[in-house]
Amino acid sequence: MATPATTRVVTQRQRREPCPRGTKELWPLALTLCAVLGLAAGHPSHRKHHGQTSHLNNHKNHNFDEDHYASFAAYQEPSNKTGTSNGDRKFKAGEEERKYIFDGQRRFKSLEHERHTHADYEESFVNDPLVVRTKSGLIRGVEKQVMGHKVHVFTGIPFAKPPVGMLRFRKPVEIDPWRGVLNATSLPNSCYQERLEYFPGFQGEEMWNPNTNISEDCLYLNLWVPQKMRLRHRRHIHQKAPVLIWIYGGGYMTGTSTLELYDADIVAGVCNVIVASLQYRVGSFGFLYLKPLLPEGIEEAPGNMGLWDQAMAIKWIKDNIAAFGGDPDMLTLFGESAGGSSVNIHLISPVTKGLARRGILQSGTLNMPWSYMEAEKAMQIGKILVDDCNCNSSQLEENPTKVFACMRAVDAKIVSSQQWSSYFGILGYPSAPTIDGEFLPKHPLELMKDQNFEDIELLIGSNRDEGTYFLLYDFLEFFEKDGPSLLQRDKFLDIIHTIFKNFSPLEKEAIIFQYTDWENLGDGYTNQKMIGEIVGDYFFICPSNYFAQVMSDNGAKIYYYYFTQRTSTNLWGEWMGVMHGDEVEYVFGHPLNMSLQYNARERDLSNRIMEAFSKFAMTGKPTGEDVTWPQYTRSNPQYFIFHATTSGLGSGPRLTACQFWNEFLPKLRNVSENISSTTDIKSCCSQEMSLGDCNNTALRVSDSGGRAAPEMGFLLLALFPVLLTSIR
């Protein structure tokens, strides 16, 4: 590199006075000492000297080891060649020579640096237990002491280029390998999203909000590695460790791997497994879908960018985990809510199938109503966002370059805020995995039914009161977070009609019939409880049951748990019960933290859950031989109960309610679709036949067209007035 113009190099030849006796022999030593002292300060310009141009160099949370790298660059092996510094001056030390240039920035650079490659520098870290050589470059972590165990933690490892500028609304691009040591010692940014602020200052809500800077530059992953597993791996004494890869939830609209709740040091230390977590784009940044509206070859808004982020992170882990002592053939994906649904996708999608063979799905499967989106609906939402950002969706076909130049220029805060204008009711999020023909080539149910899953092992779970959390947020005028509410019958009916506004009148009446306590119509507390059960059953528990049955039918090995523990430290009202997400703190071992005031039985429950998850990751079975936990099948739908004081097996869960949602209601839907065009039904109603005779006629029709079963009779009879109204 050329010497800066402000630098004046003075040579011995230009000096008029002679060099003092003895000084000549000390020059090389003095210069070497100055170089070490000066460059050890880690001036950032040394990176340019070694040709480092990666954008990672400037990231404030992910700094290279400048001190070590600079001092290494300053030191040069002796050379037998002769030469001059800046073409003029020679320094000799006996038979050896060193050559330096001194510039105004107090940097020494050897003209012989080509002889000392980057590999020499990297080799200097070979014995550092906290530095790992990956295919992307060297990474330094930190060591933590956890309950008598040492865990090496690596946070903020980049796996993709920041999806900013031209990369906004596009699939992720792999990170370029870096030079130097990446300090993976700080939590990464959280992906851009809106915060939950319904209850300001309430820790029960705040615990789910991002705890690091929100940025579009967010594609990083984290690793927790038991120290003894790494040391054993280095000595090749024991087999490599299984790996659990966490994918966070948040309805594909919020979430971050950096939450204290997801700190995996206890799991890694206690269970001797490697735990990884990853960031992925949420909201429109991760799921904007406009591809069918664009000319061929345009790479913008293909949809499912967040899933591609996840896939790239999983692949990075698979490609590099052996360097940390992990087994790339023993990856288990686990996640909660949208994270569980994501795990489901990666196990069956043609894009990612085979990266992992085991999955743990906590309150999230791909067939849940909120967990996927038809292409047409996704495009409509995308066009609305483009227009709300004043970028004119009508020009998408003719001038997509202009439209996306506009969209990339819109401030991220505006994009993040405007996307919520397409929120369409409880759990009706405007972003979700889209049936795009690639990541999801067809409807999730078809995708599940058309494949053989004999090589897949799954642990699936639900919580007892999945619905109450969402009920509170969408119907704040009817409920209080701190205590129960007396929900009057008319409000009970209003909520059902609001949630299921797109259902037919017959279907809504069936739901009301199924969830009415006919002996206590005026009991407001019962009405509140029933509404919570409706939301939990329809959106979470019953889709999980159905998914487990279908996957089992197609060869997958399924184990099911049902979490029923109301935590003693729970900050939400007692009426909300065992909420969506309540099991996560047990999965990550937080009750074992003595400062958090859990009781002894809860600590034991957390130990049992961590043991089940880690054993599943190791063997594909969540228990040892001493515990009875049978596989879940359609004919034997048995689950294991996770509770602090009771354990054992149950059937279902919520078997009766799920028969209604999974079997009866679809058949009733077929009846309602066929009934208006059926002459026999119209005839029987017009002739004022008896209700029983007319009901039998309806059953005959539905059995031929909708394949209804005879057990529908009791409900069809009860709903006959609605049937009559819909026909007339």
Report pLDDT digits (tens) over 48-76. Answer: 333 333 333 334 444 444 443 333 333 23
Determine which of 120-129, 359-368, 570-579, 689-698 has the lowest per-residue pLDDT on average.
689-698
Q: How far is CA 709 from CA 337, 503, 620, 695, 726, in A?
A: 33, 21, 37, 13, 22
> What pLDDT band is residue 37 in, cutting at 50, 70 and 90?
very low
Taking residues 207-225, what's their average pLDDT?
A: 98
3-state secondary structure of 229: helix
> Which of 363, 580, 602, 702 is the catalytic position?
580
- State residue 42's pLDDT score: 38
Best CA proximity match to 264, nearest among 633, 694, 547, 587: 587
Spatial neighbors of 145 by CB under 8 A, at least 6 apart, are 151
Element counts in the chain: helices (H) and strands (E): 27, 20
All structural domains of the chain with their residue ranges: 12-123, 131-449, 457-656, 676-727
Give the DSSP H or E segment for 382: helix 375-388
Fold assignment, 131-449: Rossmann fold (3.40.50)
- State residue 118's pLDDT score: 57
Dihedral angle of Cα 301, 304, 306, 307, to the nearest 10 degrees: -150
Q: Which residue has the tokens 């790494």?
A: 230
- Tokens representing residue 424 in the block: 């369409």
Best CA proximity match to 481, nearest among 249, 202, 209, 196: 202
> Which of 54, 136, 337, 393 is the catalytic position?
337
> Which of 122, 457, 466, 602 is the catalytic position?
466
Mean pLDDT of the chain: 82
Taking residues 449-465, what's their average pLDDT?
A: 96
- State residue 46's pLDDT score: 34
State what percent of residues in the chain have pLDDT above 90: 70
Is 373 within 8 Å of 435 (Cβ atoms)? yes
- State residue 2's pLDDT score: 41
- State residue 454's pLDDT score: 94
Q: Which residues pair with 143 in a beta bridge?
A: 152
Q: Which string of b and e fits 139-173 if b means at least 16 CB within 10 Å?
A: bbbeebebeebbbbbbbbbbbbbbbeeebbbbbbe
How many of the other CB atoms lie within 10 Å of CB of 414? 12
Is 365 within 8 Å of 540 (Cβ atoms)? no
- Tokens representing residue 243 in the block: 């790996």
User: How far is the C-alpha of 523 from the C-alpha of 488, rounded, in Å?
Assistant: 8
DSSP summary character for residue 322: G
Does the annotation mark 118 as catalytic?
A: no
* pLDDT at 699 exceeding the cut of 90: no
Q: Which amino acid, residue 425?
A: G
3-state secondary structure of 42: coil
* pLDDT at 593 exceeding the cut of 80: yes
* pLDDT at 287 exceeding the cut of 60: yes
Is 527 within 8 Å of 487 (Cβ atoms)? yes
- State residue 240's pLDDT score: 87
Best CA proximity match to 474, nearest among 292, 251, 695, 634: 251
- Tokens representing residue 620 in the block: 């594909």
In CATH terms, the superfamily for domain 457-656 is Alpha/Beta hydrolase fold, catalytic domain (3.40.50.1820)
> Rounded to an integer, what is the distance from CA 571 to the centroid of its chain?
25
Q: How far is CA 382 from CA 280, 406, 437, 553, in A?
A: 19, 14, 17, 37
- State residue 91's pLDDT score: 33
Is 249 within 8 Å of 204 (Cβ atoms)? no
Give the DSSP H or E segment for 704: helix 691-705
- Tokens representing residue 622 in the block: 């969540």
Q: Which residues pair with 144 in a beta bridge?
A: 151
Q: How far is CA 488 from CA 478, 507, 520, 525, in A?
A: 10, 22, 11, 9
Does the annotation mark 446 as catalytic?
A: no
- State residue 721's pLDDT score: 55
- State residue 419's pLDDT score: 97
DSSP summary character for residue 371: S
Report the chain's C-alpha Rg in angstroms.
Answer: 32
Q: Which amino acid, residue 190?
A: S
- Helix pair angle (665-675, 505-514), 10° resolution: 150
Is 361 within 8 Å of 458 (Cβ atoms)? yes
Burial of 5 (0-12, 13-18, 19+ CB in 10 A): exposed
Q: Matching CATH topology for 131-449 and 457-656?
A: yes
The span from the first CA to the last CA of the chain, in angstroms, equals 88
* pLDDT at 656 exceeding the cut of 50: yes
Does the annotation mark 62 as catalytic?
A: no
Is 225 within 8 Å of 154 (Cβ atoms)? yes
* pLDDT at 218 exceeding the cut of 80: yes
Sign of CA dihedral 29, 31, 33, 39: negative
Write the DSSP assignment of 409-470 as a string of letters: HS-HHHHHHHGGGG--STT--S---B--SSSS-S-HHHHHHTS--TT-EEEEEEETBTTHHH
Give the DSSP H or E segment for 246: strand 241-247
What is the CB-side half-sphere exposure of residue 313 using CA atoms within 13 A? 29
- State residue 618's pLDDT score: 95
- State residue 117's pLDDT score: 55
User: How far is the C-alpha of 496 from the C-alpha of 434, rounded, in Å?
Assistant: 27
- State residue 234's pLDDT score: 53
Taking residues 427-437, what's their average pLDDT?
A: 97
Write the DSSP assignment of 534-591 as a string of letters: HHHIIIIIHHHHHHHHHHHHTT-EEEEEEE----TT--S-GGG-SBTTTTHHHHTTGG
> What pLDDT band is residue 121 in, cutting at 50, 70 and 90?
low
pLDDT tens figures, 6-24? 333 333 333 333 344 444 4
Give the DSSP H or E segment for 236: none
